[in-house]
Structure 1
């Protein structure tokens, strides 16, 4: 699944609908920086402050993710949120509403970096929309510590896949199987994201949600490090068609997955 990412580069324009950034809002910004800095080797520098204190995570000088601080009175779920590329955030936000989704924040300008909105699909899963200006999004992929894949966990794929395809123009590629309800979303022939229908196995406390996978060099060793840094292993390492995967939560409860791609 990690080959699905569009090549990133200093002048790369993302095809609309391509996951182009991932961001996390937390209560303790400094302790979160410490956790991910130790886990992935990230360093941090300030980013746009429109929604409060915000930093960009860098891997060897390349931007890979964002972390912001929630106001103390906001009791929002702590979760990694993927941003999908758009050439016109305002138009995409209108399309989200027309197709039964909700726009919760924006569209608004993030300094000179670009224009953004936060939305949710008809089942409640939250995602971002990003129209690039100075900030193109994740600058490097395929290395340990970079986003590798985005997957929506929801009740069933058929209706929600129609929503995303109507908004972003995806082609749908269902897995033909009686055992799994899975649709891969494609743009221009490339796999860019997945939708996994898990029925009543959707966590009740979270509801449908997007899951970000981060590339790691060694899944088992990284899982050990997560617990040592105060995080929690939710699903132990297992082999999959796309490599060795595991699912964890950071100290504030943000859930994400790890994937060691086969080489």
Structure 2
């Protein structure tokens, strides 16, 4: 993934976070994940790219002082044509909030929301192809939409990005895995009334860690919060946490990485 390879449209290709305190946020994630930072495109204000072993893994930008937006990680889905994607999103009942606009020579982006209100990004790569490594601790390894129910919103994502959807057959578990070229790339999880009312539908980023319990303790020591304590999940040991500004994410020690 280190080469300049174009991602299949619909593949999660990047995650970014817009915050009020850029320096403090860099300190938090640098201590938690071992990230280092370099300047990125400044079209939307101060912005840095997080590096792990010299490879780009995520972006963090600073919100204008007068913008009181929810602080949240944003999943970007790859596209070959940001303008066409934006038009399709509108036609399918979504909303385009920002763009399409150029991020310097890196690429072209759109920030939008699905018909239920979950925010996500669309990225048309030029020089910047997105996350350059996934798998090692400190990298984003999975993206999942948490929504009220999957059936209606699945049609939106399938129309825009041509996903094949594979449901988990269960009477009490509303879960769809999204596939491209026969491989799983993301998922939709319907939570019903368990969906947090204060957040609504939202995309969740999973970051790999070497030790879920130790990372959860470190989150607290660094000024963040543990929202759901470490537990065994389908893919490994997971915990839901928030950084000091309230951005929620999931940490996971994947089952396949265990000794």
TM over 0.5: yes
Where does residue 52 of structure 1 map in the other structure? 45
Alpha-carbon offset, residue 199 of structure 1: 0.8
1:4-57, Cα deviation, whole Å (9 max, x unpaired) = xxxx22122100000000000000000000000000000001000011000000
1:194 aligns to what SS in structure 2?
strand
Q: Which runs of 5+ in 1 are unaligned?
A: 1-7
Where does residue 18 of structure 2 map in the other structure? 25
1:184 counterpart = 2:177 = yes
1:251 counterpart = 2:258 = no
TM-score (norm 2): 0.98
CA distance in 1 between counterparts of 2:97 and 2:226 reads: 31
1:173 aligns to what SS in structure 2?
strand
TM-score (norm 1): 0.97
**Aligned pairs, number:** 256
Where does residue 230 of structure 1 map in the other structure? 223
- Which of 92, 115, 121 is the aligned partner of 2:114? 121
CA distance in 1 between counterparts of 2:57 and 2:127 reads: 15
Alpha-carbon offset, residue 241 of structure 1: 1.8
- Which of 123, 128, 140 is the aligned partner of 1:130? 123
Runs of 4 or more off by more than 4 Å in structure 1? none
CA distance in 2 between counterparts of 1:198 and 1:134 reads: 38
Question: Superposition RMSD on alpha carbons, in Å?
Answer: 0.6
- Which of 50, 62, 75 is the aligned partner of 1:69? 62
Q: Which runs of 5+ in 2 are unaligned?
A: none
- Which of 162, 170, 191 is the aligned partner of 1:198? 191
